[in-house]
Amino acid sequence: MTASTRLRAAVIGCGAIAHEHLSYLGESRRVELVAVCDTSRATASFMRERFAARASYTDASTMLREALPDVVHILTPPETHESLIRMSLNAGAHVICEKPMTGSAAATESLLKEARRLDRLLVESRNLLFNDVSQAIDKLRNEGRLGSMREVDVLLSLDLTAGPFGDLNLNGPGVALPAGAVHDFLPHLAYLFLHFAGIAQVEQVTGCLDNRSGNARVGYDHLDVLIEGGDVRGRLRIASDVAPPAFRLIVRGTERSVETDFYNPFLRIEGGDNVGKRAPLEQIGSGLSLVRAGLRNFRDKVRQHGTYHGMPRMLDAVYRALLNDEASPIGEADILATARLVDRIVAIGEQP
């Protein structure tokens, strides 16, 4: 692939998630990494060296003017996304933005309209849909083995007070969004629900969104909501105070149910013929499958094939679509549906 058939990419924001994006950008044949940008000179310079970017900047507008990227990855804290997206779109770049793109569906919709007006692509990251287990569940569903979708449950158990979100040595909120730290993870849960439920909007959202740790910086750290939409219902939970850390997804259909975990992946499929007296056969099969998953996970941890392994696949699909002038794998309608569901859930909360 020649330089002329590659897209010039730049990254704004060189924090933890940038390592995941840049691992792809530094190696992809579809990409020419022209710039990295961070307000810290040392950070920008380190990332330029580490991922062989052509240049590093500390100012986004200077970078857009001088590096002339075709695609900009916006990986800064969420409250800065909106202005950087507008700046990048107006500079003529397509934009890939980390979730959550904004703090409200209205703001997201406005940005999507702006991108459409400028004939640029604007996508919000949804990397978990490109993980092995998500793709395996997609396959089961597309083959009709799950039957019709009825329930989608997602549980994220992770101590949101640990790490920078709840670090009381730092001032201000850990995440400057209406639902605090929960808001930062919520798009993952929302798009997983909508994707596997196969619906675009929900009718009812009830539950609670609150702070159970007493850590003021983290904002909300607990979520438990029930959702109904069409024939599908589900439960989305984020808990900071339960062990072990897990990111569990259960999809139940009229024929079979499937359970998985994004942190320590496995696939347990129940139902089909193995019910009633044959249910123990399913348990034996699932036990063996769990052993295989354990061995695979051990190997994956050694070779660093972690929770973010869907990220390069997602980015490659977006770049392929851009280069071939095809439809984006992450559609505008999906992004907006996710933002609207997030809005409904955030509305449940009361500021702690």
Q: Which residues are near other proteins by CB under 8 A?
A: 15-16, 19, 40-43, 46, 50, 163-164, 168-171, 301-304
> Judged by CB, which is closer to other proteins: 46, or 266?
46
Which of left, alpha, beta for 141 (phi over 0: left; psi -120 to 50: alpha)?
alpha
Q: Which two tokens stand for residue 240?
A: 């900071």
Residues 74 and 120: their CA atoms lie apart, in Å, by 15
For residue 242, the 8-state DSSP code is: S
Q: How far is CA 80 from CA 84, 251, 306, in A?
A: 7, 35, 28
> Judged by CB, which is closer to other proteins: 3, or 16?
16
Beta-carbon contacts of 199 under 8 Å, excluding residues fewer than 6 positions away, are 229, 230, 232
Least distance in angstroms from the C-beta of 31 to other proteins: 20
| Amino acid making up residue 283 | Q
Least distance in angstroms from the C-beta of 164 to other proteins: 8
Q: What is the dihedral of CA 9, 113, 188, 234, to 10 degrees?
A: -160
> Judged by CB, which is closer to other proteins: 144, or 306?
306
Least distance in angstroms from the C-beta of 302 to other proteins: 5
Do residues 250 and 153 make contact, with C-beta atoms less than 8 angstroms apart? yes
> Judged by CB, which is closer to other proteins: 42, or 275?
42
Least distance in angstroms from the C-beta of 26 to other proteins: 13
| Cα-Cα-Cα-Cα dihedral sign, residues 159, 161, 167, 168 | negative
Least distance in angstroms from the C-beta of 181 to other proteins: 16
Least distance in angstroms from the C-beta of 210 to other proteins: 24
> Judged by CB, which is closer to other proteins: 217, or 340?
217
> Judged by CB, which is closer to other proteins: 164, or 198?
164
Least distance in angstroms from the C-beta of 20 to other proteins: 10
In this structure, the strands spanning 7-12 and 71-74 are: parallel
Beta-carbon contacts of 78 under 8 Å, excluding residues fewer than 6 positions away, are 98, 100, 101, 102, 103, 175, 176, 177, 183, 184
> Judged by CB, which is closer to other proteins: 50, or 320?
50
